Each structure stands twice: as C-alpha cells, then as structure tokens.
C-alpha cells in the first residue's frame, strides 16, 4: 500500500500553471529521483508533498502513521541552539519520552507517591511501559546516533557546541541534513542534499541512503548519487510528470529511445503527408482523379492523427577551444606552501603539469583546493616556494564564488562586452549558445538565477579561448542538461585542465589523473577516479577481496528481432493479390490506434509497481511500433507501384 499518494496535483503561480494533473504513488522503502530542468517546479512539488504550501487543485494523501522529514535547499532562519542540540530536535518525540521518564523518576521519589502503594504502582507501570518503548526507538543511543551522523557529514567533536547561527551557509545545510536524517522518518524529502558536501560526505550520505529503511524522494543534480540510490525516476518537464523505471542512467536511455521513436514516427508521417500531397497535386485533374480523391481522404485522416514532434528543449551549445597551443610544460610547482595565520593549508607541494593533462583535484572542504588553484593561476602568492608557468600558457581561473564577481547593475550583454572589441550582434550570437536569447541579454545580472549566473560566468571564461583551465566547482547551480553540455565541451577541449569538483560524473568523464590534498600535503594518482576508488577499496578489504561495481550499470532485456518476411514463403500455385493503397492505409490507421493504446499505460506511474506487467506492456508497445514501421514501408511500395 502506498505511503504517499498524489492525484491531479496542479499548482499555479501568477496565473501560470507550474505543473498540472500530476499523479504518482510512493511505496514504503521506495527510493525515487525527481528530476527536471531548473525552474520546472521540483522544489515547489516537494513543498506541496511536505504540506508547506497548498496546491491550486488536487490532493496529497499520506498514511496517518507515516512521519515525514523535508530538507530544503536553503534552511530557514538559524536557531540559537548549538549544533548537537539542534540536530537532536529532529527526534523531538524521543526527547519528549526522555523528558517524561525524568518526570516519572522524580514523581517516584516524592514521599506522597513513594509511600502510597497504589499511586506508586500506577507511576511505575507507566514508567516501565515508556522505558521499554524509549529503548525500542533507540532513545538511549540517540545522542550517539546524532554524533555519528554529524561526523559522517564532516563535523568534528569541537563543532558540536557551535551555535547554528554562526555556521556558514554550507555547514548550516549539513546540520539541517543531520537533523532530518536523525528523525528516521518514513518519508524523506531531500532537495539537493549534496550541495555544499565534499566527496567524503557525499559518499557517506550515499551509503546511508542506500540502507535507509523508509521511502525517499530526492531532487539532485548528482547523477552518481541518483544511480546508486534510486530505483525509479520522475521527470517534471513542461508542466507534466512522467515516470520511468530505474535509476538516472536507465531513465536517460529510456528517454532517448522514446524521443527517437517519437521523432521517427513524426518524420514518417510528414513524409507520407508530402507524398500524398504530391500525388493529389499531380493527378487530381487527370485520368487518376479517383485515386487522387482516395488520397485526399487518406490525407484528411492522417492530419487528424498527426503525431506531435518531440519538443526540442534548449540546451547549452558550449565549445571550449584555444587560440594557440602551449609548450609541453604547462606549470611547475616547487616546494609551495601557504598558511593563514597559524593554520598551514599547503606544505611542500611540488608538481608538474604537462600539456593535455586532465587533472581532478580532490580534498575535504577547507583542505586547500581553492588555495592551490588560485596560486597556480597567479591570483594569490604562495607563502613559500615558487610557481612557474610554461611557454605560451594562457591560464583562466573559474572561481567557485565567481557569481559574486559579476556586476549586478550591468546587463548580461554589457557584462560580456566590457572592453572587448566585439560587435553586440556577435556577442548576442555567442550568448545564445549559453541559453541567453532574445530579450534575456538585456536582463540585469542582479535579476539572474544562480544557474543563469553560472552560465554567464562560463561564457566569460571561454570567450578568450585560453589553453589552461583552472576550474573550481564549475557545475554548481547547473541543471543536468547544462552539466552534460559542459562535460562534452571539456571532453573536447584541446588544452590542459585542473578541475576541483564534487561532481563524480564530471570527474569520471574528464579526469585521467587525480591529485588529493590531505593535511596540507598532495598525493598524485595516475588514473581515473573510479580506478583510485577501486584501489582504495581493494587495499581496505585485502588483495582481490572486493571489486568496485559500477552503480550506474542498468540491467535490461533484449527481445529477439522480428523475422523478416520471406518472399518464397507463400504456398506454391496460389497467387496473392498485392494490397491496395486504401487497404494499407486502413491497416496503418489500425496500427496507430494499437500503438496509442499500448503506450497509454506506460505513462501511468501505477504501472511500474508490477515488473511482469511492465515487460508485457513494453513488448506489446514494441510489437505495435514495429508493425507500424513495416506498414509504412509497405505503403511506400504501393505508392511506387504503377497505378491502374
């Protein structure tokens, strides 16, 4: 039985539907990804599920016994409590039990209770029952559990007494995440939980969510996390919600196949319409007027069933290129160190970077990744050692806080132009690749969203075509399509890259060498992130004891291809008349109806509760699609045959 059900959910803002008629159900222990472009309504939907907002229409039904916890992207105002106390409020019901136990203990010690056998028995009976329940829900280990969750998310013992109000935004999000996890809810709603987490904390959270006993709906741009944790994907696109079985990688494959089939069907229909129109135009007034009239009827039927082409959503068309090639040596660091006051951030860093290197830079938050990038870029001076750039090296540094360097009073167009000798028309064309089109180029920078600002910064970074990119969290605030566009651009980049990122998909695709900063020192691994993790796991478990498994691998089944009809398979001596145009057209109409009927249940979220039914429906859909393709091919031969 579903723990959460949504029916006909519609939400409107400023008279415009953000989404409409959304319906789905979540089973206990089910882990679901909610994805969509920035601005598609994912956060709004989570808030409706958490009963923080009221929908314009529809319903959200939660089982009475089900507890729900919600982690927003941006926490509410910081409380006055210290970190540990605030996290413990996530289990307020357990704390209330503990307070009641202390109260009962005090009552049992009072003379008027202690000396009255009847009243003492009543108090002791309540105490015994509450004590057992408190022990059952883990009350005695609650503080230990809170400390464990906080430690997993990167807090140290000395941080537990820090007032939440004194934490930075990123650490406040971690504290709120710890509070939500400690609640141990039956339904956990997470809105971008890996924002502000370093890789170690992200991997800890991933393992925690994999073993989490309740249901999860998670909004995240971390595709690695979605592949590892979720088993179903809900996509919000253009106001509608579509369910796909499987994790993100399975969704991506299914979505691509769905779009391909829809595109093929649409193109076939358009070709058929063109052929019919041409035939009618050529023979309408001739001796084939009757056949042309038949084609007109067919054309009218085709128009009434014309398939809508798949909507082409805008995606960044990023290209990272260089003006010239650098020398073989790009950068050399010798005994580089940096400190801030008494804190040593980097010590004895020696490193050579060569042309074409694609380096991933890892380390905990605060380990010194940004400091090292700024020193290599020449933005900061090291406290010790030296940095030398090679011949012809043109570095560009993309700062994690790059959006703060933008002038909020400028327009997008002026922010790009600055003092560059470029024509506004050329800049507008260039900005279009980063999804700034039409009047968007005249928007004030201060009015842009976080994702828009990040795209503007990327546009500025790549405009001068440097040959050495130093990137500090370049995918922050970008939705998945924009991340994929940037990944492709960096994969094609002919220069040299040093990339600090927590985006493991990006890291795995780009980096072939991994530098890790730990305790101010640098380690150098020649290989990919996955290979480094595999070696680390093997080292921990013993040689050959464990092998890393790709969490994004999706299982699938292949159906045997339909056998092609054999020309010599008809019984001898029996002539079979070739089908007429109208006969084939009628069969096409029937096949299109069958395809539509077969596809309808595949868009219903309830379908995906039954794995056997999914296989049957998908097989029926594929069969109907193949029959339709064969009929269109047959129709072409009929058209090409001489008409009587």
pLDDT of residue 642: 41
pLDDT, tens digit, for every residue of 56-76? 899 999 998 888 989 888 777
The answer to whether the beta carbons of residues 321 and 460 sit under 8 Å apart is no
Distance CA 589, CA 570 (A): 26
Asked if 1-67+185-246 and 329-541 have one fold, the answer is yes
CATH topology of domain 329-541: Rossmann fold (3.40.50)
CATH topology of domain 1-67+185-246: Rossmann fold (3.40.50)
Question: Average pLDDT, stretch 362-388?
Answer: 93
Residue 626: is its pLDDT beyond 80? Answer: no
How far is CA 267 from its chain centroid?
30
Higher pLDDT, 315 or 438: 438
**pTM reported for the whole predicted model:** 0.71
Taking all residues of the chain, what is their mean pLDDT, rounded to a whole number?
82
Low-confidence winner among 20-24, 142-146, 238-242, 507-511 (lowest mean pLDDT): 142-146
pLDDT, tens digit, for every residue of 231-248? 999 999 888 999 998 899
Residue 230: is its pLDDT beyond 90? Answer: yes
Residue 419: is its pLDDT beyond 90? Answer: no
Higher pLDDT, 293 or 12: 12
Looking at 110-247, list the stretches that DSSP marks H as alpha helix, in order from N- to C-terminal side.
Answer: 111-114, 117-136, 142-152, 169-182, 199-210, 223-229
Distance CA 88, CA 142 (A): 8
Residue 203: is its pLDDT beyond 60? Answer: yes
Residue 569: is its pLDDT beyond 50? Answer: no
Residue 351: is its pLDDT beyond 90? Answer: yes
pLDDT of residue 560: 31
Selection from 371, 374, 370, 376 nearest residue 352 by Cα: 376
89: helix, strand or coil? helix
Question: Average pLDDT, stretch 22-45?
Answer: 92
pLDDT of residue 174: 86
Residue 573: is its pLDDT beyond 80? Answer: no
- Burial tier of 28 (Cβ tally within 10 Å: 0-12, 13-18, 19+): middle
Domain ranges of the chain: 1-67+185-246, 80-168, 251-312+576-640, 329-541
Question: Average pLDDT, stretch 467-472?
Answer: 95
Low-confidence winner among 207-211, 328-332, 577-581 (lowest mean pLDDT): 577-581
pLDDT, tens digit, for every residue of 285-314? 777 787 778 888 777 776 666 566 666 666
């Amino acid at each position: 039985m579903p723990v959460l059900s949504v029916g006909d959910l519609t939400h409107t803002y400023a008279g415009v539907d953000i989404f409409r008629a959304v319906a789905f159900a979540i089973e206990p222990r089910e882990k679901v990804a909610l994805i969509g472009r920035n601005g598609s309504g994912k956060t709004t939907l989570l808030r409706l599920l958490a009963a923080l907002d009221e929908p314009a229409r529809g319903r959200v039904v939660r089982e009475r016994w089900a507890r729900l916890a919600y982690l927003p992207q941006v926490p509410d105002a910081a409380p006055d409590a210290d970190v540990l106390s605030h996290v413990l409020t996530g289990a307020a019901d357990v704390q209330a039990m503990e307070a009641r136990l202390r109260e009962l203990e005090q009552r049992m010690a009072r003379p008027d209770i202690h000396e009255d056998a009847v009243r003492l028995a009543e108090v002791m009976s309540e105490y015994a029952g509450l004590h057992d329940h408190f022990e059952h829900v883990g009350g005695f280990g609650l503080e230990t559990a809170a400390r464990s969750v906080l430690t997993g998310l990167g807090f140290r013992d000395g941080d537990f007494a820090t007032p939440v109000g004194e934490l930075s935004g990123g650490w406040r999000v971690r504290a709120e995440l710890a509070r939500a996890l400690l609640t141990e809810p039956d339904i956990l709603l997470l809105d971008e939980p890996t924002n502000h987490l370093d890789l170690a904390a992200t991997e800890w959270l991933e393992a925690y969510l994999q073993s989490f006993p309740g249901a999860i709906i998670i909004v995240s741009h971390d595709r690695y996390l979605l592949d590892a944790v979720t088993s179903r994907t809900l996509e919000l696109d253009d106001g509608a919600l579509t369910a796909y079985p499987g994790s993100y990688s399975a969704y991506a494959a299914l979505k691509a196949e769905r779009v391909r089939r829809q595109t093929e069907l649409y193109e076939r229909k358009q070709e058929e319409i063109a052929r019919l129109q041409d035939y009618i135009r050529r023979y309408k007034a001739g001796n084939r007027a009757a056949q042309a009239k038949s084609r007109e009827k067919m054309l009218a039927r085709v128009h009434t069933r014309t398939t809508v082409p798949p909507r082409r959503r805008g995606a960044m068309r990023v290209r990272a290129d260089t003006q010239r090639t650098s020398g073989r040596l790009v950068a050399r660091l010798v005994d580089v160190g940096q400190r801030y006051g008494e804190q040593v951030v980097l010590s004895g860093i020696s490193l050579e970077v060569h042309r074409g290197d694609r380096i991933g830079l890892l380390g905990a938050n605060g380990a010194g990744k940004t400091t090292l990038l700024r020193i290599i870029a020449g933005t900061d001076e090291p406290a010790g050692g030296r940095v030398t750039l090679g011949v012809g090296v043109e570095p560009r540094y993309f700062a994690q806080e790059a959006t703060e360097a933008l002038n909020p009073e400028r327009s997008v167009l002026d922010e790009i132009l600055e003092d560059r000798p470029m024509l506004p028309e050329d800049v507008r064309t260039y900005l279009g690749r980063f999804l700034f089109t039409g009047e968007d180029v005249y928007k004030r920078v201060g009015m842009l969203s976080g994702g828009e600002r990040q795209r503007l910064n990327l546009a500025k970074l790549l405009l001068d075509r440097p040959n050495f990119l130093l990137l500090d969290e370049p995918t922050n605030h970008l939705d998945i399509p924009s991340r994929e566009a940037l990944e492709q651009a960096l994969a094609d980049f002919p220069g040299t890259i040093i990339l600090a990122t927590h985006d493991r998909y990006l890291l795995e695709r780009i980096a072939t060498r991994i530098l890790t900063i730990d305790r101010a020192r640098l380690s150098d691994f020649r290989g990919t992130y996955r290979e480094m993790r595999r070696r680390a796991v093997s080292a921990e478990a013993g040689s050959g004891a464990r092998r890393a498994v790709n969490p994004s691998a999706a299982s699938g089944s292949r159906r045997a291809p339909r056998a092609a009809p054999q020309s010599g398979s008809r019984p001898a001596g029996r002539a079979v008349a070739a089908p007429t145009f109208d006969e084939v057209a009628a069969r096409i109409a029937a096949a299109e109806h069958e395809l539509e009927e077969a596809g309808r249940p595949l868009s219903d979220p309830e379908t995906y509760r039954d794995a056997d039914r999914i296989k049957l429906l998908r097989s029926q859909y594929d069969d109907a699609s193949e029959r339709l393709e064969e009929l269109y091919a047959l129709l072409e031969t009929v058209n090409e045959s001489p008409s009587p």
